[in-house]
Structure 1
Amino acid sequence: MGLFNKKININELYPVNYVDIHSHLLPGIDDGAKDIEDSIALIEKLYAFGIKQFRTTPHVLGDVWENSSATIKEKEALLQAELKERGYHDIQISASAEYMMDNNFSKLLTNDDILTLKGKYVLVEMSFFNAPFNLDDILFQIQIKGYTPVLAHPERYAFYHKDFSEYQKLIDAGCLFQLNILSLTPQYGKEITKTAQRLLKEGMYTFVGSDTHHKRHVKLMETLANQKTKKLLTPLFENNIKEFSF
């Protein structure tokens, strides 16, 4: 094994004050943590990695995950209180959302009912089967409202893999890209990893997040503790810290 691929301790991978901007840690609200005990267990694992700041992002997805800003904030308050009760006073966590760009999102946007990651940044996603037919209009409307769209895991949209010019079009349309760190593991398959590596090489990502849903995800994250990954992701880690610190 070369020096560049040298293994490191997992808590050496993440810089001090790193902020994870994509996760599903709120209890019983989507396909992430099932209950408060599950939430705490996941956070404790990530805390052991040195991650102490979280902007967690439950799904808001049509009639599948009909989470409102109010219900999200209720779960946020519950989790914050539980962390404080257990003595985790150095953990900072706030909840926004991962918005599917669908008709429901368009209504929320019209009504100014959006939970941002911080400031102007809104985390959005699209179907893994196809892009919205009115994607350009949605991205335009997001920016008209004064927000900046952060597209979650662009490497996972397989319909773009054969034409990388489509990724550049999204960036030209005002999108910032957020890498799922799990895409660098076998979690989603070789094609996703290959695409993530190419997007990284071409400097198309701005931010990174874990997209943690369950303990298997956290276990896979441990496999990324090497010098190569650290060097590749350090610019993204630094962007997260700059834009999303508490």
Structure 2
Amino acid sequence: MIDIHCHILHGIDDGPVTIEESLLMAKEAVVEGINTIIATPHHRNNKYENKKESISRQVRELNSVLKEENIPLTILPGQETRIFGEILNDYNNGEILTLANTDYLFIEFPSSSVPRYAERLLYEIQMAGLTPIIVHPERNKEIIENPNVLYNLVKNGALTQVTAASIAGYFGKSIKKLSHQLIIHNLTHFVASDAHNTHNRSFKLNEAFDIIENDIGVDYVYLFTENSDLLIRNENINKELPEQIKRRKILGIF
């Protein structure tokens, strides 16, 4: 199994602090059935700056330690970049890192809103030959209140990735419900862990896939696992036509 979103590199963002903690995460990943992880440290989120060169170096170092420790896990380089207007300039200057050096690029929105320029910028990213993947949209306040914001972005070519813990309910009932609706309405294309540690932000991928299989259908499990494999091979992923979510707000709860 491939996990395309994980904060396993130590000492550079809000993931593990030490290499020992990174190794604990690696061992837990193997138990989970994960054999490949894309390391995606935060970048340009007003707190952390992790540029392409430094991430690639840390990935090489962690892979070396994993080999020494006989842990059967491969780490690939990636980055979780907060959306900003000059992202393509930084990409061309060698500071922005795609996922596993493919044409797929993670884009993170602020937790409370979707910037007004997002639609235009995501279009420009696609015109530059990259495919933007919006991370954890189910936890964005504006999208929670109006899922059609996300529908319009997906309709215009953006992809999305939902967090396993969201599907399993660890972020609350409303986020769990929206996560399921995003799957049913073809508004997400990947499920990943966004794991940060082994205690309160661990992988949860098997739990999420069990829920998807039981509540939505096993075909979606195959779709998400295959898409992660297609991504690291830099091939076109599987996707269906997105559908709008029609919802009513009842007593402030969705």
Calculate the TM-score normalised by the size of structure 1: 0.84
1:211–1:110 CA distance, 2 compared to 1 (3 A):
same
Tell me, yes or no, if the aligned pair for 1:62 and 1:103 is still in contact at 8 Å. no
Question: Residues 1-246 of structure 1 correspond to what in structure 2 (within 5 A)?
Answer: 18-88=1-71, 90-103=72-85, 105-118=87-100, 119-215=102-198, 216-218=200-202, 223-224=207-208, 226=210, 227-228=213-214, 231=218, 232-244=220-232
Structure showing greater relative contact order (alpha-carbon pairs closer than 8 Å, 6 or more residues apart)? 1
CA distance in 1, matches of 2:25, 2:84: 29
1:139–1:223 CA distance, 2 compared to 1 (3 A):
closer
Tell me, yes or no, if the aligned pair for 2:53 and 2:95 is still in contact at 8 Å. no
CA distance in 2, matches of 1:186, 1:62: 25
Tell me, yes or no, if the aligned pair for 1:151 and 1:175 is still in contact at 8 Å. yes
Query: Of Structure 1 and Structure 2, which has the larger fraction of its residues in helix?
Result: 1
Q: Percent of aligned pairs with the same residue?
A: 27
Pairwise CA distance, 1:168: 1.4
For each residue in 1:13-62, what CA deviation from the matched residue of structure 2 results, as whole angstroms up to 9, or x when unmatched? xxxxx210000000111101111111110110010111011111011024
Mark the runs of 5 or more structure 2 residues left unpaired by the alignment: 235-254
Q: What amino acid is the match of 2:127?
A: I
Pairwise CA distance, 1:225: 6.7
Q: CA RMSD in A?
A: 2.1
Q: Number of residues paired by the alignment?
A: 228
Mark the runs of 5 or more structure 1 residues left unpaired by the alignment: 1-17
CA distance in 1, matches of 2:88, 2:170: 31
Pairwise CA distance, 1:63: 3.9
Tell me, yes or no, if the aligned pair for 2:167 and 2:179 is still in contact at 8 Å. yes
Which residue of the partner structure matches residue 5 of structure 1? none
